[in-house]
Amino acid sequence: MLTPKQHELLVFIDQHLRRTGCSPSFEEMKIGLDLKSKSGIHRLIGALEERGFLRRHKHRARALEVIRQPADSVATERVDQKFAPNVIRGDFSARFQGARAAAEVAAVSLPLYGRIAAGQPIEALREHQTEIEVPIAFIGQGEHYALEVVGDSMIDAGILDGDTAIIRKGETAENGQIVVALVDDNEVTLKRLRRRGNSTALEPANARHETRIFPAERVKVQGRLVALMRQY
């Protein structure tokens, strides 16, 4: 049996993972649960780990995994309403469509364009050869496609080698968003976008990798990350 705050935190983490593909920060959890300090979040996470609801992956930044949910579906629905999409603070804005139960079952087919480097850029993606089933809860409005992540340069953003990135197609993105960037019309990579005057920076989320800076005209946004899929 979970306390109300433990239950709220578990649902908050679960919904953040579904919407963004990575764990919320302690600051986001503190704000989401209206707590005064992060120490309360540490205690709640420890309690959820002890009860077998949550797993914390060591040596990986912001890596939390929801193992199971409590059976109290009425309470879950009540907390779901509290953490509506516009309350969650994150890098991505994928929204749930329809009721949560229906969304978890429904799926759509997206083109799987192939592999994208989360390390050094690779040759621009060719025509897709297959499709992949994606829960409709992972996407919002607009056209989407999927890519297989290769490399470790985005691990601190919770993006791992072998993950499937769900991308909302588009040519615009805000500073700080993780995007598919096409460099010189020839090579493509998954990085965080930063615009600085007439320059565009493609930032990794791994201290072992360097930020690459280009004249703005050399970088084209091909879409932005809205969700991740991972198999264990």
Q: Strand 64-66 and strand 187-196: pairing?
A: unpaired
pLDDT tens, the chain, 232 aa long? 678 888 888 888 888 887 777 788 888 888 888 888 888 888 898 888 888 888 887 655 567 888 887 654 334 434 444 444 333 333 333 333 333 444 444 678 888 888 888 776 655 565 556 888 888 777 877 889 999 999 999 999 999 999 999 999 999 999 999 999 999 988 899 999 999 889 999 999 999 999 999 999 999 999 999 999 987 6
Residue 173 makes CB contacts below 8 A (sequence gap 6+) with 179, 193, 221, 224
pLDDT at residue 129, as a whole number: 64
For the chain, how long is the longest CA-to-CA vector?
56
Give the active site residue among 39, 93, 169, 191.
191
CA dist., res. 7 & res. 79, Å (int): 8
pLDDT at residue 176, as a whole number: 92
pLDDT at residue 165, as a whole number: 93
Give the active site residue among 37, 153, 169, 220.
153
pLDDT at residue 76, as a whole number: 40
Q: Domains of the chain, with CATH numbers?
A: 4-90 (1.10.10.10), 105-229 (2.10.109.10)
pLDDT at residue 55, as a whole number: 85
Q: What separation in angstroms does the CA of 186 have from each of 44, 104, 168, 189?
A: 47, 37, 20, 10
pLDDT at residue 62, as a whole number: 60
Note the pTM of the prediction, 2 decimals.
0.55
Determine the 3-state secondary structure of 170 from DSSP: coil
Where residue 101 falls (left for φ over 0; alpha for ψ -120 to 50; beta otherwise) is alpha
Residue 98's identity, in one-letter code, is G
Does 73 qualify as catalytic in the annotation?
no
pLDDT at residue 200, as a whole number: 96
Q: What is the dihedral of CA 111, 114, 118, 120, to 10 degrees?
A: -140
Residue located via tokens 């060591």? 58
pLDDT at residue 88, as a whole number: 35
